[in-house]
Amino acid sequence: MYTQVRQDEKLLLAAAARRGDEVLRLRDADLLLGLQGNGLAADVVLVRSLSHSRALYASRFLEHHGFRVVNASRVIATCGDKAFTSVALAAAGVPTPRTFVAFSPESALRAIEDVGYPAVLKPIVGSWGRLVAKVSDREEAEQLLEHKATLGHFLHQIFYVQAYVDKPSYDIRSHVVGDRVTSAVRRVSASWITNAARGAVCEPQIVTPEIEELSLRAAEAVGGGVLGIDLMPDREGALFVHEVNHGMEFKAAVAATGFDLPGAILEYVAEVARR
């Protein structure tokens, strides 16, 4: 199931052709999912929707009809919401930045000053580093919070505040497929936002025992599946997991590492189909 066939989906389709898998393409905008089913026949559904809401509701309806889905709706629900992800990581004892959720600009300001400047203000739903802000002082905090408060959408009325991790010029994205960490990259950028979608350069990263352990613990905390784990080192080298991605993009990682991540994903999807 997809929104559009990007390079990532082309890599998956090429890997499926090499494996001899029969693939039915389901464009999410064309789906009509009822309570009684619609005659769809498939062994397993791999969800690659760009939209969090489409992925979440479609996967839940598909599960209702007995389909195996990768990733499961409960995993999408947790990973698609940064606050839910933070709670899941903390409950599992996975090191993650100090985090607050507030429901008014006044309480959000208290949260920002509690974690100290600079602080990070994020939307609870979103990707590619959009609308993420580093807040440097009280004046900037007040302006940003007023701006969010006037945006209108109810999600912007949930203020998600994290402590800023003073990291080197990179973070780490590891790729968990089932019960193993298949590969990892460093995402290097002159900006403090190190998303590949925002121009960060991907370099191969050795999967150390610490990266492997934290990645697997983080994946288990959110329910497991095919996941991108975002880790940040601080200046002393301590690692923090700050996000888990349920619909990871991987074209830059494949180019950097040479690892056949699409093939590993499809092998896992086939394993889920056999369960």
In a domain, 188, yes or no: yes
Residue % of the chain over a pLDDT of 70 = 96
Provide the token pair at 115: 């974690």
User: Which of 48, 79, 110 marks a domain boundary?
Assistant: 79
Residue 71: cis peptide before it, omega within 30 degrees of 0: yes
Confidence of residue 152 (pLDDT cuts 50, 70, 90): low
Domain that residue 246 falls in: 170-274
58-62, 166-170, 203-207, 208-212: least confident range: 166-170
* Arithmetic mean of pLDDT, 186-194: 83
* Residues 124 and 58 placed together within one structural domain of the fold: no
* E-only strand ranges, the chain: 44-46, 68-70, 99-102, 119-122, 133-135, 159-163, 170-177, 180-188, 201-204, 226-233, 239-245
Average pLDDT over residues 196-210: 88
Residues 26 and 65 both lie in one domain? yes
Residue at a domain's end among 26, 48, 79: 79
Q: How many CA atoms lie within 13 A of 169 on its CB side?
A: 9
Query: Is pLDDT at 80 greater than 80 in this prediction?
Result: yes
Sign of CA dihedral 233, 234, 240, 246: negative
Which residues make Cβ contacts (< 8 Å) with residue 57, sequence separation at least 6? 33
Query: Does residue 157 sit in the same domain as residue 176?
Result: no
| pTM of structure | 0.92
Mean pLDDT rounded to a whole number for the chain: 93
> Does 130 share its domain with 179?
no
Cα-trace Rg, the chain: 19
Long-range pairs, 203-207, Cβ under 8 A, ≥24: 203/170, 203/256, 204/256, 204/257, 205/172, 205/174, 207/174, 207/181, 207/183
C-beta of residue 32 within 8 angstroms of C-beta of residue 57? no
CA angle centred on 153, ends 123 and 147, rounded to 5°: 65
Q: Is the pLDDT of residue 127 over 70?
A: no
Length of the chain: 275
Query: Higher-confidence residue: 142 or 147?
Result: 142
Domain boundary among 147, 163, 179: 163
Q: Which of 84, 91, 83, 130 is nearest to 108 (CA)?
A: 83
In a domain? residue 91: no
Q: 12-63, pLDDT tens digit by residue?
A: 999 999 999 999 999 999 999 999 877 788 999 999 999 999 999 999 999 9
Number of domains in the chain: 3
Token pair recorded at residue 222 = 């959110």
pLDDT band at 246 (very low <50, low <70, confident <90, very high): very high
Q: What is the CATH number of the domain that holds 113?
A: 3.30.1490.20
| Residues 154, 66: Cα–Cα separation, whole Å | 33
> Is residue 193 located within the same domain as residue 238?
yes
**Mean pLDDT of the region 126-155:** 82
257-265: average pLDDT: 97
- With a cut of 80, say whether residue 198 has pLDDT above it: no
